[in-house]
Structure 1
Amino acid sequence: MAQLALFLSDIAAVSLLVFGLYFPRHRRKDLVVAYLGVNVGVLAVASALSSGKTGAGIGLGMALFGVLSIIRLRSTELDQHEVAYYFSALALGLLGGMQTTEVWRSAVLMGLIVAVLFVGDHPRMMRNHRRQVMVLDTALPDHTALVAYLEQTLGARVHSAVVQRVDLVNDTTLVDVRYRCAPGPHAKNANTAAHAEPAAPGGTTPVAVRP
């Protein structure tokens, strides 16, 4: 009976995580399938291993999933928030599959995982902070001049500007910039100041900026 309660708790938690939080916010159908598959797979294997008479199987299984959890899929690169959802789905499966007499503790931990993702990935959490990979149509080897140029172009305060390439021949600068938009008209200007190109791997958006 306790194991059934854990199974139902895991199903409820992962459903809320995937369909209540992740998909409405990020709209990636392929990762919905991945999160559900990881959760159910870990749930099934953890349950099978925990029902054994020896603890060696559990230790081996936990080590196996620890190794699998840090492997990135070669077909696509995951953003950091997607990795967080991936780990959460995995943790929910482990909590639901392990046999325990303290069902309430596992249920509370499941709720804590979902609550942390709800708050940490909320759209209003640090919503004015942005990151973009930008291609500037001018070579700016001087860091002070680069920051001033970016702040003028974006209409925002630049917190970090990491130059990835300065091309003096073609007169371009590739920079990874992190900035904070001011609420109101400045935030709108920061979004429309540059022409956006297709998204680059890792969730950043390369932007071509011309003076």
Structure 2
Amino acid sequence: MIELRAIHKKYLFKHAVRGIDLQIKKGTIVGLLGPNGSGKSTLLKMLAGLIHPTSGSILVGGSKPDVHNKKHVAYLPEIDHLYGWMTVKETLRFIAGFYTDWQEDKAAALLLKMELDENQKVRNLSKGMRARLKLIAVLARKVPLVLLDEPFSGIDPSSRAKIIRSIISEFQSEDQTIVLSTHSVNESEPMFDDVIFLQNGQITIFDSTENLRATYGCSLENIWEKVYG
């Protein structure tokens, strides 16, 4: 699904990604882990085609990320991109207008599962409820690649649990790949097939969750502490 070769991304005063080589299999949920500034968001934005590498090549589904294949990628940014004056229902209708792959029935089912009132204004939603709405906007699309940038950032445990359950239940393992960056390692661990540890824009570890637990003899959270402690 994803192939990166010798990827570098340089900004004016920062070398954000440093020579990443990576292959991600179709049909997996991959955890992208690392402290702030490790390059997670930059990597996801490049996969989404929002920014371009300074050097190296990226293939997503066999094609270079560009305007045309953006329609095959659902990207959830860490920033809150919703309009506060819209209701929940208006927000989903607005987003649906951009995509031919939007699944109205799935959006309605997720709305019930996430316990959101479709008539409530977005500005009146808690941070956790807004995070749930952002996730619906991504999971209601039928796409081969889903990119989630810190979907649990700063939200309550109840919302984190609902979001994780929804990601697992809605994941189409035969047709879909999910790459998810997070600091909430403990709660997220059960859904990861593979895990990437990033540090200073480089991959320090990339392996299956099962192999990592067997090798280190502990959970991903404990491995995090060993890698970044």
TM-score strictly above 0.5: no
Structure richer in helix, relative to its length: 1
Structure richer in strand, relative to its length: 2
Q: What's the TM-score once normalised by structure 1's chain length?
A: 0.27
Q: Which protein has the larger Cα radius of gyration, Structure 1 or Structure 2?
A: 1
Pick 1 or 2: higher relative contact order, CA cutoff 8 A, min separation 6. Answer: 2
